[in-house]
Structure 1
């Protein structure tokens, strides 16, 4: 069943009305969700009518309907991709068996942990972005921010449904806790480090949606392979929405670069000071933001060697990215993979059992994908005749997790001593001065068709609307 029932209090395509106990439990969670949205969701937006995309079905050709809606009235709900009764598990120790429609008892704790960790990232990013609407560079960008926010809210619903339906009282308690933790809170922070970082400005937001939402793409893709069929079907639909978040990031940074290149060409200079004085973001600052967001994101994949990763794979809970396209036995026993470690002050490669290195496999897939987008950003500079190129730092740079945690590493992959790190850190990572400068550009621009001076307009509007369309009605 792919059509979504919008006559229900909680829109869904899972026949919620047939399970009264579950329906009542979710209906009692719903007001807490709305309270959370009011408290830490997008600031000052309660009365805005926003031109949002709402899922009306999960079919590839009919899942998006556009129209102005108050965000607080957005129809969050529970949408799973259609099921396949003959679906088999295609990796791990259960390969060839029927996919599970319920949670096997022996995998209950691990599955719950996976769902809670994924679920925790969704409200965290809304919390991180809650002030950004106050400094938007245009109405077009404000609308994109709000679209990302409501979809992160729906992704939270997706995980909460699984917790309520399949994990009983434990699941209900975990669902409550998802609304109690808060990004950056000293006493009750979000589970993963990157989701406790601030998103202080729009350049950070674009980097976050490019890199950190791309982590989401890879994690969701790995979960879409799961032997637990409801999780697989849920995450497959979430991936459709995740694509938009990465588009916001990639196109946002492209437009920042376009404007910077234009200013550099107009002034015939690459002097960062002069570029800044002209109200654009210099390329050095953009590179430092990139270095920070990239390195924080690759930590999200976890330790390079992990017995948990091996257990999750062998037991069928979490596959690899595009598992079905890989040409191996999909069991991986006896296979190896290279990981990095530091030996006598030098980086060396080490062969380890592939099952234990699956976090690293996923991280390497992410790195390849990220580099392709950075190459597209460089095309913007190339087209403008600017010789500088953005680069992705070495995967050991600025790491806080795994065997590479705490190693002092330059972006180009040299192990450096404390003194060089201290001397060069301000060239490699954003400084307080960088943040202050970018913050100084963050004035609010909301007239239709007008854009802040540090970013170029997009090539086209949303859903074939003109760029100067009224995307947000301020009420």
Structure 2
């Protein structure tokens, strides 16, 4: 068992006590982290006993235990997957060489940038979701929010450990800066724009955890391939926790759909106004929220043509999703990939060197994966006998990065004029009125087993507990 030592001030499975300088540096960072959590963690929740999952080992057989704990007392720590014996680099220019245990000098700046960018998304999510507990639709959902929050906090620890251990003074300064930036702050914002957007309501939260945490899955999978072995081992364990975040999103939206379909059948109507008056979220509004979160998230993959992506791959820093399962030479020289551009009022495909198109390759893998969950949501609608289907919009829709930035494209993938976009955008993206309506539904429900009117209960509780279990004990 790759067990975690909980007797240490900072729980870990990396023998932290054997590196006194590193241990002291992280113990100095720890109070700053706890201060950030107090200021920017879940609002008004410091004294709740929450039924949380805590890692006790990184082995698949039993890496978690459940119990009630106050969130500031959660045992955040540093957990890496066990090392793979004689691991070799399996892509890029260093193919076949031994994986790196230290940072090669020539890749130092790029690796630091990758780790900092990943690390910055973790506290940003907590900041974006900070007020949601005040409007939770149930105790079950409140507990899931808090589980997501503490795990995002642990993912920050994972990246800060790498910065401190392998990047010296620069790494320590970057670790401090990760606690200083703030989501949405004009003077010192988070690095990636999607992490400066607001998450003002639970529909946004469920969409965020389905779509944006799925981006996290794909980025972490690409980093799990890295030639830098400590980064690979760190991200492999983070992926175990990330799966729960996507479950929260997928099951949350599924339950919203279930409740809406139930109301549609009871009232025998698909009229959005009537359904809103009944206190549920109509399906066209769900589609607009889906369009927004999907399009904002696919921008996170970066420009469709990127010399940085080529450098990261060739250097062995960041692979493709499921690199080992791909049947090619894993160096990609001379190979091409199609990306989209706009020309003469139309979308056109353009062949570019695959090394330069790796952001687009990852984006396309992500889109395929995202569509699977949307298909499962549609099964809920189909089962209710309702002839409406949710769809992912075209990947050129509402883009703000790369060759498609600012090009006006309909959800179906047709380039439209500025005038047509302005006339129809409230049919395609959430309007101010949509957001105000969803906000109006957000009342706090915390009695065990009770749920807000706009969402169905889950089929099962957490860790085989009943749905009406006391997931959160209020002080």
Verify same fold: TM over 0.5.
yes
Corresponding position of 1:390: 390
Corresponding position of 1:181: 181
CA–CA distance in structure 2, aligned partners of residues 457 and 18 of structure 1 = 48
Corresponding position of 1:25: 25
Corresponding position of 2:289: 289
Corresponding position of 2:167: 167
The yes-or-no answer on 1:148 pairing with 2:148 is: yes
CA–CA distance in structure 1, aligned partners of residues 84 and 214 of structure 2 = 27
The yes-or-no answer on 1:371 pairing with 2:371 is: yes
Q: How do residues 42-441 of structure 1 correspond to structure 2 at under 5 angstroms? A: 42-441=42-441
The CA deviation at 1:345 is 1.1
CA–CA distance in structure 1, aligned partners of residues 400 and 384 of structure 2 = 37
CA–CA distance in structure 2, aligned partners of residues 66 and 87 of structure 1 = 33
CA–CA distance in structure 2, aligned partners of residues 339 and 440 of structure 1 = 41
CA–CA distance in structure 2, aligned partners of residues 2 and 12 of structure 1 = 10
CA–CA distance in structure 1, aligned partners of residues 58 and 244 of structure 2 = 15
CA–CA distance in structure 2, aligned partners of residues 385 and 156 of structure 1 = 44
CA–CA distance in structure 2, aligned partners of residues 172 and 106 of structure 1 = 20
CA–CA distance in structure 1, aligned partners of residues 447 and 280 of structure 2 = 20
The CA deviation at 1:438 is 0.4
Corresponding position of 1:14: 14
CA–CA distance in structure 1, aligned partners of residues 29 and 411 of structure 2 = 45
CA–CA distance in structure 2, aligned partners of residues 84 and 130 of structure 1 = 38
Corresponding position of 2:467: 467
CA–CA distance in structure 1, aligned partners of residues 85 and 464 of structure 2 = 38
CA–CA distance in structure 1, aligned partners of residues 62 and 253 of structure 2 = 29
CA–CA distance in structure 2, aligned partners of residues 316 and 335 of structure 1 = 18
The CA deviation at 1:71 is 0.3
CA–CA distance in structure 1, aligned partners of residues 125 and 134 of structure 2 = 16
CA–CA distance in structure 2, aligned partners of residues 390 and 345 of structure 1 = 27
The CA deviation at 1:84 is 1.8
The CA deviation at 1:112 is 0.1
The CA deviation at 1:62 is 1.1
Give the match's secondary structure for 2:387.
Answer: coil
CA–CA distance in structure 1, aligned partners of residues 465 and 349 of structure 2 = 51
The CA deviation at 1:85 is 3.1
Of 338-347 and 207-216, the range deviating more from structure 2: 338-347
Give the match's secondary structure for 1:403.
Answer: helix
CA–CA distance in structure 2, aligned partners of residues 428 and 349 of structure 1 = 24
Give the match's secondary structure for 1:77.
Answer: coil
CA–CA distance in structure 2, aligned partners of residues 6 and 464 of structure 1 = 25
The CA deviation at 1:408 is 0.3
The CA deviation at 1:294 is 0.2
Give the match's secondary structure for 1:348.
Answer: strand
1:129-160: per-residue Cα shift (whole Å, max 9, x none)? 00000000000000000000000000000000
CA–CA distance in structure 2, aligned partners of residues 146 and 385 of structure 1 = 35
Normalised by the length of structure 1, the TM-score is 1.00
CA–CA distance in structure 2, aligned partners of residues 284 and 338 of structure 1 = 32
**4+ residue segments displaced more than 2 Å:** none
Normalised by the length of structure 2, the TM-score is 1.00
The CA deviation at 1:471 is 0.1
CA–CA distance in structure 1, aligned partners of residues 64 and 250 of structure 2 = 21
Corresponding position of 1:454: 454
CA–CA distance in structure 2, aligned partners of residues 411 and 155 of structure 1 = 34
Q: How many pairs does the alignment contain?
A: 475
CA–CA distance in structure 2, aligned partners of residues 147 and 12 of structure 1 = 19
CA–CA distance in structure 2, aligned partners of residues 20 and 434 of structure 1 = 54
The yes-or-no answer on 1:443 pairing with 2:443 is: yes
CA–CA distance in structure 2, aligned partners of residues 243 and 39 of structure 1 = 27
CA–CA distance in structure 2, aligned partners of residues 91 and 150 of structure 1 = 34
